């Protein structure tokens, strides 16, 4: 029996207090492929009460017991790996290969990284006669987005479990099925009743209620900066901790000595990966003024080689964006780029030729973009690249940092010392030199309006802990 119309509360699949359903749309077809129940404050109350009751016992579990539980969760996750990948492909339109190799893999990778971190994590230290101990913060409300569903679910749930916290998860109602399968994984793995709970629903009806709930000790939120501000304001009345991973408008500085063919090609592919729906995507490509046309020629060739279409087709590189709302927003921003005078190199408004249904976007490259243009400042969240000229190194850094965001930045150079100097000047939580492999043991989080707190590995565990000093503890 499908659990799509149930919530997972206190170790059981339960019906909502007030029955209400929502269709889940496959963005490749624009048709519903299933439906879920959406919750209310009453469902949140039940889930929080279960988590609060479970915390009394689970917070006292030993380091080794929590480690064994995470290992069991990983085992079951691997057993459900293909189900998870199929769900992600259906709910957000990810090409199936990408759903397996990146989306579902991310959950596996972060579970393993958390296990590795917990193996050696120390929850206490001695400073003279004072004992410093790190204790679980309590009941945690976890609110996750649709664009990397398993990445963000596991980046929150795994470290919370490692720390000894209990949780209530609200996945995005746009892409909720992978989250339901994850709840099934938790149940099969033997997570104690009340330690993990799931309530589906909208941001206003469930997410905000969780953020403001008096028995919730911490909120961890990933989503837009706009929504993050609402969550933080709601949480402020009860003075709870709020960790946020929000928007981005990441600059990709290609220095003059870089291999331009490689640097521009990988930059375009990085921007378009996940159909451009990544908060850390390198969406602003900064190139030397005298090599702008060279960069545009490469970018156009790469963009036009990308195949947009059916996520189930193994030849597809780019699927649809997740929803009609996102499609319309991206179309509006593409039009703004044209209206404000940027050069449309390839792509543009409308669906790609031959695709009459589905929320498909033409892979789009703009050249001669000015830093004050809308497409250079707003997070587009689609396969749209802005190429911007710079005069010299200082100008490149100034343009890169001239944004309200600070999630990620990229630097390309054959001179590693030069790249490191540039990286040191970037106001971003992560800086990537020469397109390195994904590192699940690096920290992840942002400066400025890209949020606060850090995720991944031991950094994630730390965010779910309180620090207590026992003064006079003795030697």
- Annotated active-site positions, please? 245, 279
Give the other-Cβ count within 10 Å of 130's Cβ: 13
Strands 130-136 and 465-470: antiparallel
SS3 (DSSP) at 125: strand
Give the other-Cβ count within 10 Å of 194's Cβ: 25
Say if residue 72 is exposed, middle or buried (CB neighbours under 10 Å; 0-12, 13-18, 19+): middle
The three state secondary structure string of 427-443 is: CCCEEEECCCCCCCCCC
Tokens of 49: 């009460």
d(CA 20, CA 425): 50
Which stretch of DSSP H or E encloses residue 57?
A: helix 41-58
Strands 343-346 and 364-367: antiparallel
- Among all chains, which residue has been given the structure tokens 């339960």? 14
According to DSSP, the residues that pair with 284 across neighbouring strands are: 251, 386
Which stretch of DSSP H or E encloses residue 315?
A: none
d(CA 428, CA 325): 29
Question: Which residues are within 8 A (CB) of 438 and not within 5 positions of it... i.e. 6 or more apart?
Answer: 109
Order of strands across the sheet with 284-288? Answer: 343-346, 364-367, 384-390, 284-288, 251-254, 408-412, 430-433
């Amino acid at each position: 029996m499908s659990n799509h119309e149930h919530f997972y509360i206190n170790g059981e699949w339960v019906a909502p207090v007030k029955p209400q359903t929502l269709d889940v749309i496959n963005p490749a077809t624009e048709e519903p492929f299933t439906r879920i129940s959406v919750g209310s404050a009453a469902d949140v109350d039940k889930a929080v009460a279960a988590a609060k009751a479970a915390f009394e016992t689970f917070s006292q579990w030993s380091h080794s017991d929590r480690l064994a539980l995470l290992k069991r969760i990983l085992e079951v996750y691997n057993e459900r790996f293909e189900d998870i990948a199929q769900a992600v492909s259906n709910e957000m339109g990810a090409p199936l290969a990408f759903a397996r190799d990146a989306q579902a893999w991310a959950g596996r990778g972060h579970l393993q990284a958390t296990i590795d971190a917990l193996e050696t994590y120390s929850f206490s230290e001695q400073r003279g006669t004072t004992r410093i101990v790190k204790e679980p913060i309590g009941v945690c409300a976890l609110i996750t987005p649709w664009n990397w569903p398993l990445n963000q679910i596991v980046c929150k749930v795994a470290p919370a479990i490692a720390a000894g916290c209990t949780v209530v998860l609200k996945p995005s109602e746009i892409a909720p099925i992978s989250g339901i399968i994850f709840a099934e994984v938790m149940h099969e793995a033997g997570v104690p009743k009340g330690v993990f709970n799931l309530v589906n629903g909208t941001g206003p009806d469930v997410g905000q209620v969780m953020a403001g709930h008096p028995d919730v000790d911490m909120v961890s939120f990933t989503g837009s900066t706009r929504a993050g501000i609402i969550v933080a304001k709601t949480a402020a009345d009860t003075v709870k901790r709020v960790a946020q991973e929000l928007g981005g408008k990441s600059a990709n500085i290609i220095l003059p000595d870089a291999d331009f063919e490689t640097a521009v090609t990988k930059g375009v592919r990085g921007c378009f990966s996940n159909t451009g729906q990544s908060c850390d995507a390198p969406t602003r490509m900064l190139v030397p003024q005298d090599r702008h046309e060279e960069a545009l020629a490469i970018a156009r060739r790469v963009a036009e080689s990308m195949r947009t279409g059916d996520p189930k087709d193994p030849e597809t590189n780019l699927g649809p964006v997740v929803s009609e709302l996102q499609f319309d927003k991206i179309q509006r921003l593409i039009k703004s780029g044209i209206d404000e005078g940027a050069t449309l190199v390839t792509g543009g408004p409308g669906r790609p030729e031959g695709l009459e249904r589905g929320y498909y976007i033409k892979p789009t490259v703009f050249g001669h973009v000015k830093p004050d243009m809308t497409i250079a400042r707003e997070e587009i969240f689609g396969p749209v690249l802005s190429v911007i000229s710079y005069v010299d190194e200082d100008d490149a850094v100034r343009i890169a940092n001239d944004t309200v965001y600070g999630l990620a930045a990229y630097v390309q150079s054959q001179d590693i010392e030069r790249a490191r100097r540039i990286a040191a000047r970037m106001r971003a939580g992560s800086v990537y030199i020469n397109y390195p492999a994904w590192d699940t043991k690096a920290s992840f989080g942002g400066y400025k309006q890209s949020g606060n707190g850090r995720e991944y590995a031991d950094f994630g565990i730390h965010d779910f802990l309180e620090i207590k000093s026992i003064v006079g503890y003795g030697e």
